Amino acid sequence: MRTNYLCEKEISGCSVAGIMSEEGRKFSGELIMKSISVMRERANGLGGGFASYGIYPEFSHLHTFHLIFENNRAKQLTEEYLKENYLIEKDEPIPTREQGSIKHPPGLWRYFLKFKKRRKEGGFTEEDKVVRTVMEVNTKIGGAFVVSSGKNMGIFKGMGYPEDIGRFYRLEEYEGYIWVAHGRFPTNTIGWWGGAHPFGLLDWAVVHNGEISSYGINKRYLSNFNYHCRLFTDTEAITYLFDLLVRKHKLSLEMASLALAAPLWDTIERFPDNLKSIARAIRLVYGSALLNGPFSIIVGHSRGMLGLVDRIKLRPLVAARSGDMLYISSEESGINEVSSSLDKIWQAKAGVPIIGELKCLSH
């Protein structure tokens, strides 16, 4: 029997999308929901989510923790732990609305936190202490999971198609200058609220399409720096690697990309001499941070947005510009849906980052 392959579509897994105004102009979450919704066939209803930057201007000086609680005991223990180190300026349920396709959501809460004044710990920054808080909650308090922990940003995710998750969280009521979105099609891990994308730490938010076959090595490498992967998804490791390489080790986004999507050795040997020595050094020092396997990722952070595909481009990623707007998507359709006039559109190159930078650093 002959199969009509022309009727089948190779979707290559999850959908990712990101929209940014490099001038820092804010726009509604409606735009990113439209972008991700046209790629619905890339998801299967087992995970969707969004990250946005600039949504809490009145609390921009505070760390905002979004948390998932599976039971009241987890919430009680988490609040007792938070009060040891922070002043809780405000806390409340994350606003939601009933959405027919979203069944049995867990407890969803947000906290606006200020550090208590204490004697300084040598070598530890405020950000280091937040990372330690996230690791402690995720590893030691059963049924509690930190979804995001940055300033003036938040991650909203759960079980469902992304556009349904967006309506559930009322994202059309928020305005931000960067939005990142994900529609999940899990292949070798379970679908659950904490395992939906984006994954966050401090102001990092990562969405990912693909499979990281180096996850075991990456996870062990990160444990040397007190990052502990507990959310059963390889994307969590990518998030922590960006924090380690960029925030802790002070690599530029370009150098971090060179470490995570390192070229093959024979490719490095064909580089110009000045770049060859740098690429060799990065590959040697950060060999255990290399992300092996097919992937395309979009990374949001308070100062910009980055898109990156693996070193032989086994997953799709398209980018476009229109004025100060940068668009990144799994498919061109996700961009055309929200912008009818583009100055430039291009396919991501293997291992070469697409970088958007916020021009107004006051954000």
User: Comparing C-alpha atoms, which of 181, 188, 222, 214 is closest to residue 310?
Assistant: 214
pLDDT, one tens digit per residue, over 142-176 is 999 999 999 999 999 999 999 999 999 999 999 99
Give me the percent of the chain exceeding a pLDDT of 90: 82
| DSSP 8-class letter at 244 | I
Q: Please, which residues bridge with residue 148 across strands?
A: 66
Residue 227 to residue 202: CA distance in whole angstroms: 13
**Cβ within 8 Å of residue 223, ≥6 positions away:** none
The residue written with tokens 């004044």 in the block is 117
Phi, psi (5° rounding) for residue 182?
Answer: -150, 140
Measured from the Cβ of residue 73, the count of other Cβ atoms closer than 10 Å reads: 13
Beta bridge partners of 355: 306
The CA distance from 208 to 29, in Å, is 20
- Do residues 178 and 305 lie in contact, with contact meaning Cβ atoms separated by under 8 Å? yes
d(CA 18, CA 47): 17
Cis link prior to 57 (omega < 30° from 0)? no
Quote the CA–CA distance of 174 and 39 in Å, as a whole number.
22
Instruction: Report whether 21 contacts 175 (CB < 8 A).
Output: no
Q: Which two tokens stand for residue 12?
A: 């290559």
Residue 185's pLDDT is 79
DSSP state of 186: -
Whole-angstrom distance, CA of residue 4 vs CA of residue 168: 38
* Catalytic entry in 7, 14, 229, 360: 14
pLDDT at 233: 87
pLDDT at residue 6 is higher than 80: no
pLDDT in tens, 297-333: 999 999 999 999 999 999 999 999 999 999 999 999 9
What's domain 10-56+153-357's superfamily in CATH? Answer: Aminohydrolase, N-terminal nucleophile (Ntn) domain (3.60.20.10)
State yes or no: is 14 an active-site residue: yes
**Residue type present at position 175:** E
209 SS3 class: strand
Cα 107 → chain centroid: 21
Expressed in angstroms, the distance from the first to the final Cα of the chain is 60
Pairing status of strand 86-93 against strand 107-115: antiparallel
CA–CA separation, 359 and 168 (whole Å): 32
Q: Mean per-residue pLDDT for 27-37?
A: 96
Distance CA 187, CA 10 (A): 15
Task: Confirm if 306 and 208 have CB atoms less than 8 A apart.
Answer: no
Average pLDDT of the residues in 125-138? 96
pTM equals 0.93
- On the question of pLDDT at 361 being above 80, the answer is no
| Residue 20 to residues 31, 118, 145, 271, Cα–Cα distance (Å) | 11, 37, 27, 32
Number of C-beta neighbours around residue 46 at 10 A: 18
The mean per-residue pLDDT over the stretch 255-281 comes to 93
User: pLDDT digit string (tens) for 186-214?
Assistant: 777 778 888 889 999 999 999 999 889 99
